[in-house]
Amino acid sequence: MIIILKPKANEEKVRDLIKRLERMELSINYSEGATTTVIGLIGDTSAIDMEILRAHEIVADVKRITEPYKAANRKFHPDDTIIEVAGHKIGQGYFNVFAGPCSVESEEQIIAVAEAVKKSGAGFLRGGAFKPRTSPYSFQGLKEDGLKLLLKAKKATGMPIITEIMSELHLALFEDVDLIQVGARNMQNFTLLKELGRTRKPIFLKRGLSSTMEEFFMSAEYIMAEGNRNVILCERGIRTFEPSIRNNLDISAIPIVKRFSHLPIVIDPSHAAGTAWMVEPLSKAAIAAGADGLMIEVHNNPKEALSDGAQSLDFDEFSHVMEIIKERIAFEGKVMG
Ligand code: PEP
Ligand code: MN
């Protein structure tokens, strides 16, 4: 981190600031140039509050030259991490498809979808039981009953399940859930992230609607700093000025994750697009850019779905997209994990 001082900064105040920084066990590199004076900080600067430093009367600006995340950072873990969940591998050439309805609606529905997505080659069954909805008047999910139905579908098909947690108070209910999803709206629910960090459950962390990549990595860091290293990242579209699509799929998130982190990155084209017809081209783009998996919403009868019907594929559409996915991942030298 470097601190750029204001021209003609009071020398006594500069000495005070340096003393304060040295007390934080940082090595100081003071460099006085013809026009600019900078203080270089060497050591662990992750706990430094940049805004407080910036507000100091002798400071012109503060810049980080290393990323504030450590556990999620590729610099400290050069090899890709492979996350293992219920016998499946994700990352470093192992690709996975997480498919199922937006919401669990009934036993018949979730079992029919589980059988169909399994037949087409998906590795995981997804389905929301606790649903974060924009309107409090929309269907909120079957909650605990929804979890029970997912577990029935798991038993009937042998598929591992992934479902969203909305509160740390529900953690005990998720014991038999294979992969716990943190939804976009909870990406910065730090209490929830810390609690999940204290478990050893694999976590599927979705990027917030308006989060920067650094904020995304910092949320992964919250989980990992508590000791849980089993984190899968998921880009699901971000808010932009374009009104014709639900969100904008940020394909550049994939190379950014690959460069700065060692964690696997999954793409959710369904929530990005908001329409079923766009799932296929976005899936192809995600695979070409290096994604480690896809999360795709599939429904037995999308027109009647209780949530996200417009973006859900029916069984035939999903089977077609899966054929393309299998072809494309083979082309990239990857295998289903
Ligand atoms: C979901 O996966 O159904 C969901 C609500 O996703 P997101 O948090 O990305 O909106
Ligand atoms: Mn959904």
Domain boundaries, the chain: 2-63, 83-336
Mutational pocket test of ligand 1: of 181, 270, 294, the residue with most ligand atoms within 8 Å of the beta carbon: 181
Kindly state if the Cβ of 128 falls inside 6 Å of ligand 1.
yes
Residue-level pLDDT at 28: 85
Q: Is 223 in the pocket of ligand 1 (CB under 6 A)?
A: no
Phi and psi of 95, rounded to 5°?
Answer: -105, 145
Which residue's alpha carbon is nearest to atom 4 within ligand 1? 183
- For the Cβ of 141 lying below 6 angstroms from any atom of ligand 1, the answer is no
Cα–Cα distance between 250 and 254 in angstroms, integer? Answer: 8
Q: Quick one: which atom of ligand 1 is closest to the CA of 237?
A: 9
Q: Does the domain made of 2-63 have the CATH classification 3.40.50.620?
A: no
Find how far residue 154's CA is from the centre of its chain.
24
Total Cβ atoms within 10 A of residue 122: 26
Element (H or E) spanning 39, and its range?
Answer: strand 37-42
Rounded Cα distance between 5 and 27, Å, is 17
Q: Is 132 in the pocket of ligand 1 (CB under 6 A)?
A: yes
Beta carbon of 271 within 6 Å of any ligand 1 atom = yes
Which of ligand 1's atoms lies nearest the C-alpha of 103? 3
Query: Which residue shows structure tokens 């999903």?
Result: 318
Please identify, in words, the CATH class of the domain defined by 83-336: alpha beta
Q: Does residue 147 have its Cβ closer than 6 Å to ligand 1?
A: no
pLDDT on residue 29: 79
Residue ranges in the chain modelled with pLDDT below 50: none
Among 102, 206, 247, the mutation site with the greatest number of ligand 1 atoms within 8 A of its Cβ is 206
Compute the distance from residue 261 Cα to the ligand 2 centre, in Å: 26
What pLDDT, on a 0 to 100 scale, did the predictor assign at position 187?
Answer: 98
State which ligand 1 atom lies nearest to the alpha carbon of 102: 3
One DSSP character per residue, 263-287 reads S-EEE-HHHHHSSGGGHHHHHHHHH
Residue among 171, 151, 167, 164 nearest 86 (CA): 151
Give pLDDT, residue 45: 86
Residue 206 Cα: closest atom of ligand 1: 9
Q: How far is the CA of 316 from the centre of ligand 1 (A)?
A: 23
C-alpha 57 to ligand 1 mean position (Å): 44
Report the pLDDT value the prediction gives residue 64, as an integer from 0 to 100: 85
- The pLDDT of residue 212 is 98
